[in-house]
Amino acid sequence: MTSIDASADRRSSSAAEQPVLRGFGGGAFGVYVHVPFCATRCGYCDFNTYTAGELGSSASPRSWLEALRGEMAEAARVFGELPGAQPPVSTVFVGGGTPSLLGGDGLAEVLDAVRANFAFAADAEVTTESNPESTSPEFFERLLAGGFTRVSLGMQSAAAHVLKVLDRTHTPGRAVAAAREARAAGFEHVNLDLIYGTPGERDGDLDASLDAVLAAGVDHVSAYSLIVEDGTALARKVRRGELPAPDDDVLAARYERIDARLTAAGFDWYEVSNWAASDSGRCRHNLGYWDGGDWLGAGPGAHSHLGGVRWWNVKHPARYADRVAGGGLPAAGWERLTDEECHTERVMLTIRLRTGLPLADLAPAELRAADRVITDGLAVRAHDRLILTDRGRLLADAVVRDLLLAEAE
Q: Are 27 and 291 in contact (CB under 8 A)?
A: yes
CATH class of the structural domain 29-290:
alpha beta
C-alpha count within 13 angstroms, C-beta hemisphere, residue 262: 30
Average pLDDT, the chain: 92
pTM, to two decimals: 0.93
Cα→Cα distances 103→61, 108, 171, 386, Å = 11, 9, 19, 44
d(CA 259, CA 230): 28
What digits encode the pLDDT tens for the residues 349-362?
999 999 999 999 99
- The sign of the torsion formed by the CA atoms of 345, 47, 285, 121 equals negative
Domain parsing of the chain, residue ranges: 29-290, 352-408
Residue 83 has pLDDT above 80, yes or no: yes
Q: Which residues pair with 218 in a beta bridge?
A: none
Instruction: Give the mean pLDDT of 165-176.
Output: 90
pLDDT score of 9: 40
What digits encode the pLDDT tens for the residues 288-317?
999 989 999 999 999 999 999 999 999 999
Instruction: Give the mean pLDDT of 382-404.
Output: 96
d(CA 138, CA 103): 10
pLDDT score of 169: 81
